[in-house]
Amino acid sequence: MSVRAVLLSVFLATVLPGIPAAATSEIASNAADDLPIHEPQADEEGDFLWWDGGRNMTFYQLGKILDLGNSLHAVGEWVGVLGPREAADVNALDEVPNSTWFTNRHHRKRLSPEELARGPNAGPPPSSTGPLTILSGKVLGQTPGFVLKDRDEHRYVLKFDPPEVPEMATGAEIVSSKVLHALGWNVPEYHLFLLDPARLELAEDAWIRDKYRRKRAMTRKDIEAILQRAARLPDGRIRAVASLQIPGTPKGPFRTQGVRPDDLNDTIPHEDRRELRGLRVVAAWINYTDARRGNFYDTFLRDPGDPQGRGHLVHYLLDFSSSLGSGNVEWKDPKDGNEYVVDPPTILRSFVSLGLWVKPWEDPPPVSHPALGYFEAGIFDPERWVTTYPNPLFDQATTRDSFWGSKLVTSFTDDDLRTVVSTGEWSDPAAAEALFEILRARRDRIARTYFHTDRINAADRFTVKGNQLGFENLAVRSGVASIERARYRYRRSGGSWKILARPAVPIGSADGVVELQASHDGGESWSPTTRVTVRVNGKSEFRLVRIDRETHD
């Protein structure tokens, strides 16, 4: 055996065991990750922004090199020996099963306008009458607010808009929470609520943190100071977002790398979860730049009747008041979403280019409406889009993950968009119209980027009718490719390609694999191949058993 062969063997033996299975052989629709476990400890590490941000900008970046498996894999990808590290939690149809992380909703089965508008809100808004008792100040985040309970003993976190930009933060929170819920993630209930300050009472044991973050008794003066930082309506009331307390026992933010040691249901490293990797595209769409560990949340739900008090964790996304164009207490900076807060490669490129490289966001489009903050579609590039600082979950996203995220984004039709935009209850209809236009344009930009035949075959929603394999071309469906110019070609068992103008392929009469490619330019160029495996049963009925998508990263 030659030295080269030995080296290659070592390389493959080293790397291959580390590659997560591209897709499990089962068509699991539910991950069954809610098996009873003992109550885990609270893990508050992610609440600390300085460490999370600092670590992700430094040690995490260095760790990617020091993790030799990762480095070897990167080398393997570079020389073409290995493919990308795909998500480990997808089923044989390249889909994400329902789990404590994610529930397939709108893209799988369309929600009605009422369901879209209702979003996660199963419970009531704060009572419109009776006292509102303040329990504490708001512990985390920049937006002014506090924790209170209404007369029905429901607890809410109340957040307000800054006086300079009324409706911006609250509108962003409401609209983004509806979007994320409709697309499948767990989010808290957010209710738009008009607060009459006269209803506020202070609980005897109400507390707030002082400037040294020590707990102390809360006073009326504290309430006044918080309300001073809130935009008021002409009648003195305050528009607020009331976030209903998430059920269960808080267990801190979930990790952006690895698994939770004391959760036996947590078997897939979070960075290998498609619903977390693919969230990047959705976050890019709604400009959720604050998608960081501190805005993720685990809650422990006790299983009713379990004699040992066991239960399971459910995983949430939180805090969308800095999504869209909102920067919480001011407009977002045009830089947000385009480069990290400290972005060494961008800084280095700027330095080395001697200023000749003009960053696209140096010439930002104008603000479309003051109530929206800085939110634009003109220079939006979903590939370039980043969070405020690196998030390891998004760092791992492959083309297939992004395709999946785009599939979710484009499941929103224009009418769906108008529905969720209206939930922001913008006082100026022009703000709602502007937001609709921006979200629509960003959605289409995402479709153009991730449904492109240079990357992937955008065929999806496969169905079998008789011996016809039907599918939808998501690029055509999204309006970013022309139906007249769309072509499809297929073959079975390495045969010759046959070209079709319509998305329906004759399967034949036996088990097998259909190789399928798409073209958006009348057949001049073709996408990577998607392989669809079909099986026939004893009644000569075909069913889908597996979908494998090739990609060009």
Partner 1 sequence: MRLTARSVNSGLEWGVAALFMTLLVGLLVRPAAFAESASLASAAVPAHRVAGRSWWRQALELPEEAMDVFAWPLKRGVIWAERVNLPERIFDVLYFNDERTAGWFPNFSFGGEIQSAAGFRLFHDDLWGHAEEISLATLFAIDDLEEERVEFRFFVPSVAGSRAHVLAHVFYSEDNDEDFFVRFRPDGSFGLGAETGEDDDTTFELDLVRSRFEGGFRPNANLDLGLAFQPIFGDVEEGGGAEPPIPRFIDGFGGPTVLLGGGPYFEWDVRDNAVRPRSGWFARADGGAWADVRGETTSGRDYRYARYRIDLRRYQPTFRRDRVIVVRAFLDRVDTFDEGAAPFWDLPRLDEDRALRGFERNRFRDKGALLFNAEYRYPIWDTWDGYLFWDEGQVFRNFSDVDSSRFEWSAGAGILFLSEKKFLMRIQFATSEEDQLFRLDLERSF
Judged by CB under 8 A, the residue of 358, 499, 501, 510 near partner 1 is 358
Q: Of 409, 487, 484, whose CA–CA distance to 450 is shortest?
A: 409
Contact 421, 439 (CB under 8 A): yes
Give the shortest CB-318-to-partner 1 separation in angstroms.
19
- The answer to the question of residue 67 lying near partner 1 (CB under 8 A) is yes
* Total chain residues near partner 1 (CB under 8 A): 50
In a 3-state reduction of DSSP, which class is residue 12? Answer: helix
In terms of Cα–Cα distance, which of 77, 76, 107 is closest to 12?
Answer: 76
Going residue by residue from 472 to 501, which x/- string records binding to partner 1, judged by CB under 8 A? ------------------------------
How far is Cα 215 from Cα 208, in angstroms, rounded to an integer?
A: 6
Q: For the window 288-327, what string marks contact with partner 1 as x by the rule CB under 8 A? A: ----------------------------------------
63 is an interface residue for partner 1 by CB under 8 A: yes
**Shortest distance, CB of residue 84 to partner 1, whole angstroms?**
13
Compute the distance between CA of residue 71 and CA of residue 83 in angstroms, rounded to an integer: 13
Per CB under 8 A, does 66 bind partner 1?
Answer: yes
Instruction: For residues 472 and 44, give the distance between their C-alpha atoms in angstroms, rounded to a whole number.
Output: 44
Q: Which is nearer to partner 1, 30 or 267 (CB)?
A: 267
Of 39, 48, 237, 485, which one interacts with partner 1 (CB under 8 A)? 48
Q: Which of 7, 32, 35, 42 binds partner 1 (CB under 8 A)?
A: 42
- Minimum Å gap between C-beta 353 and partner 1 is 9
Least distance in Å: CB of 533 to partner 1?
22
- The yes or no reply on residue 8 touching partner 1 (CB under 8 A) is no
CA atoms of 138 and 227, how far apart (whole Å): 12
State the CB neighbour count (10 A cutoff) for residue 90: 26
What is the closest distance, in whole angstroms, from the C-beta atom of residue 43 to partner 1 in the complex?
Answer: 5
Joined together, the tokens standing for residue 544 give 């889908």
CA–CA dist 359, 338 (Å, integer): 9
Q: Which is nearer to partner 1, 42 or 430 (CB)?
A: 42
Residues 445 and 380: beta-carbon distance below 8 Å: yes
Share of the chain residues as helix, strand and coil, in percent rounded to the nearest 5: 30, 20, 50
Residue 262 binds to partner 1 (criterion: CB under 8 A): yes
- Which of 477, 497, 479 has the alpha carbon at shortest distance from 489? 497
Q: Which of 351, 360, 502, 522 binds partner 1 (CB under 8 A)?
A: 351
For the chain, first and last CA: distance in Å? 34
Q: How far is the CB of 337 from partner 1 (least distance, A)?
A: 15
Strand partners, 543: 535
Q: Could you give the CA distance from residue 216 to residue 173 in angstroms, rounded to a whole number? A: 29
With CB under 8 A as the contact rule, the residue among 25, 267, 308, 427 that binds partner 1 is: 267
Output the smallest distance, CB 50 to partner 1, in A.
5
Nearest distance in Å: CB 357, partner 1: 10
Residues 16-35 that bind partner 1 (CB under 8 A): 17-21
CA distance 159 to 72: 47
- Dihedral of CA 314/320/324/327: which sign? negative
Choices 99-107, 259-267, 414-422, 506-514 (CB under 8 A): range interacting with partner 1: 259-267
Q: Which stretch binds partner 1 (CB under 8 A): 93-101, 266-274, 275-283, 402-410?
A: 266-274
**Angstrom distance (rounded) from CA 341 to CA 375:** 17
Residues 85-124 that bind partner 1 (CB under 8 A): 88-89
CA distance 104 to 119: 14
What's the min distance (Å) between Cβ of 506 and partner 1? 37
Q: Which is nearer to partner 1, 346 or 467 (CB)?
A: 346
Applying CB under 8 A, does 347 fall inside the site for partner 1? yes
Of 332, 335, 442, 549, the residue at the interface with partner 1 (CB under 8 A) is 335
Q: Is 272 in the site for partner 1 (CB under 8 A)?
A: yes
Q: Which amino acid, 332?
A: K
Min CB(259)–partner 1 separation in Å? 6
- Beta-carbon contacts of 458 under 8 Å, excluding residues fewer than 6 positions away, are 403, 451, 452, 473, 474, 475, 476, 481, 518, 527
Residues 543, 393: Cα–Cα separation, whole Å: 34
Binding site for partner 1 (CB under 8 A): 13-14, 17-21, 41-45, 48-51, 54-55, 59, 62-63, 66-69, 72, 88-89, 211-213, 258-262, 264, 267-269, 272, 335, 342, 347, 350-351, 354-355, 358, 362
